[in-house]
Structure 1
Amino acid sequence: MLEQLNQALEHVERHLDREIEIAELARIAMTSEYHFRRMFSALAGVPLSEYVRRRRMTVAGAEVLAGERTLLDIAVRYGYGSGEAFARAFKAVHGVGPGEARRGGATLRAYPRMSFRLIVEGSSTMRYRVVEKEKFQLVGLKARVPLVHEGMNPAIVAFLKGIPKETVARIEALSDQEPGGIVNVSAGLGEDRSSGVELDYWHGVVTGADAPADLEALPVAAGTWAVFEASGAFPEAVQFLWRDVYTQWFPSNPYRSRPGPELSQNRISADGTHVDAQLWIPVERIPA
């Protein structure tokens, strides 16, 4: 998988001066567009569109300094319909406009070309299983929160504190299938997985029952799920598990992510320092 991802990045480099189709990159990587976007964002730390923009402006910056083409010619070459649009994009990346950069003395920012490689660290293993589930409903309460990669998420903490214990008990009583009990769910998260991006955070259960009038429901289609387990310090063990699934498990297994909510179930110790975590990711097998 890493080899195919690097081939897709090579395609990006060869086509910075023209429109880059995500469908073509996914074809080169031999995966779906959805999974390619998710994988790239998880591995690179930025969405694909932002990486392309930074690389395009890095190469354009070198041409601006070289002075061999007019600024309008450079703008047109990199897909901008006007010098003004190019100047705005250039300044967003470099902090100065192309005219100022060409006059000399300006400091530009170079974003290096990216490549992926596998680094083996220690002898840790990932515990996982693959499960087929019929369609179900996620029933509970949800809030719009920012994504936080490290440490506690204040928005989630505040949301959970605001749910009465009686309501939590009523929600939990609706659980009638695996994963049993309360689950935390991330939904509505697209290509961009950088810190601060907003998503729908659910506190609910997996059930076949209808939702009471005062609760919300999210129908989930039947499909395949990869289930991962981890134990360790809270919340780091949970956050590292998310990271490892996308940076280690997917590149070395014949599966790709598919659209759907991602379920997390955390059993936290009484003192709040340790967690036994379970993560459910919707997947599909990559055709041979």
Structure 2
Amino acid sequence: MIAELNTLIDIIETSLSADPAEAIEISSLAARLGTTEYHLRRMFSSLAGMPLSEYVRGRRMTIASAEVIAGEDLLSVAVRYGYGSTEAFGRAFRSVHGIGPSEARRNGGPLHSQQSIRFRLTIEGNTTMDTRIIDRPAFSLIGHSARVPLIHEGVNPHIRDFLETIPVDEHHRLKSLSESEPAGPLQVTDGVDPDYREGTELTYLHGVAVLATASASADLDVIDVPAGTCAIFTASGAYPAMLQETWAATAAEWLPSNPWRLRPGPSIVSVLERAEDFSTATTELWLPVERE
């Protein structure tokens, strides 16, 4: 995966001054590299710490800023970098540099440079991830869901507030409906932005797993999960920091070192044990994967 990401970087570099819609077609590039657009975008955002689209815009505006400072015609620069007007180019320029092209030309800056990224895999060899791979028949996730923004670190207050609206008796009812792995209650995220951009919306479901043939009552939301392979990561420690570190390690360590790639589908967290105040927990993180 590291080699594929560096190939992507090389293609981006040669395409910065071309039409964005034509120059960098991630889906066709991913197919050429033997992977998927979903996996490529998720791995890039996890390892680079930014969405692929943000990196491309940052690199494009970094290169374009040199031509702006040099006094080239702004419309010519805008067209060269794939924008149909100086206004559209100016908005993209300001989103990266914090100032417009005219001010940058007049004062010489300040400008924010996005350096070209190179990916390298460093194997420390002193961390073992407790992982198992299983093939699962189709099943369903039932429970109560809400649309919430993605937050990478710390407690997500939107999820916390949503969970507080669910009565205690309803938590017990859901747990009694659990009839399939992973064991409930479950924290489910679905419909996550492929670039994993902070603040983008996802579906969060608090519920349990049931057989695909089960029928849910009308007051419950349902996410159908097709048959496929799942990688399951077990971890214990401070919560939610330990779980978030496990998420990061799957991208930074496990996926680059193993012949698996992410596939679309819900990510599921099963809490096996926890402290009374939820300060510590043992969890299973279920990720949908497929062979490279």
- In the superposition, the TM-score normalised over structure 2's length comes to 0.93
Name the structure 2 match of 1:171: 174
**Counterpart Cα distance in 2 of 1:122 and 1:136:** 36
Counterpart among 153, 158, 171 of residue 156 in structure 2: 153
Is 1:275 the counterpart of 2:281 in the alignment?
A: yes
Counterpart among 252, 256, 259 of residue 254 in structure 1: 259
- Give the AA of the match of 1:221: P
Name the structure 1 match of 2:110: 107
Name the structure 2 match of 1:232: 237
Larger displacement relative to structure 2 (89-98 or 238-247): 89-98
Report how far residue 185 of structure 1 moved: 0.3
**Counterpart Cα distance in 1 of 2:231 and 2:105:** 52
Contact 2:193 2:201 in 1 (8 A): no
Counterpart among 198, 201, 208 of residue 205 in structure 1: 208
Compute the RMSD of aligned alpha carbons: 1.5
Structure 1 198/8 Cα, relative in aligned 2: closer, same or farther at 3 Å? same
**Structure-to-structure mapping, 1:45-60, within 5 angstroms:** 45-60=49-64
**Counterpart Cα distance in 2 of 1:81 and 1:199:** 32
Contact 1:134 1:222 in 2 (8 A): yes
User: What runs of 5+ residues in structure 1 fail to find an aligned partner?
Assistant: none
- Give the AA of the match of 2:29: L
Report how far residue 198 of structure 1 moved: 2.1
Name the structure 2 match of 1:124: 127
Name the structure 2 match of 1:17: 17
Report how far residue 250 of structure 1 moved: 1.0
Report how far residue 28 of structure 1 moved: 5.2
For 1:27-60, what per-residue CA distance to the aligned partner results, in whole angstroms no more than 9, with x for missing partners? 4543111111111111122211111011100000
Counterpart among 82, 86, 107 of residue 85 in structure 2: 82
Provide runs of 4+ in structure 1 moved above 6 Å.
none
- In the superposition, the TM-score normalised over structure 1's length comes to 0.94
Name the structure 1 match of 2:146: 143
Name the structure 1 match of 2:35: 31
Name the structure 2 match of 1:42: 46
Percent identity between matched residues is: 50
User: What runs of 5+ residues in structure 2 fail to find an aligned partner?
Assistant: none
Contact 1:45 1:194 in 2 (8 A): no
Name the structure 2 match of 1:195: 198
For 1:208-229, what per-residue CA distance to the aligned partner results, in whole angstroms no more than 9, with x for missing partners? 1211121111111111111111
- Number of aligned residue pairs: give it: 285
Contact 1:132 1:223 in 2 (8 A): yes
SS in 2 for 1:180: coil
Name the structure 1 match of 2:2: 2
Contact 2:139 2:210 in 1 (8 A): yes
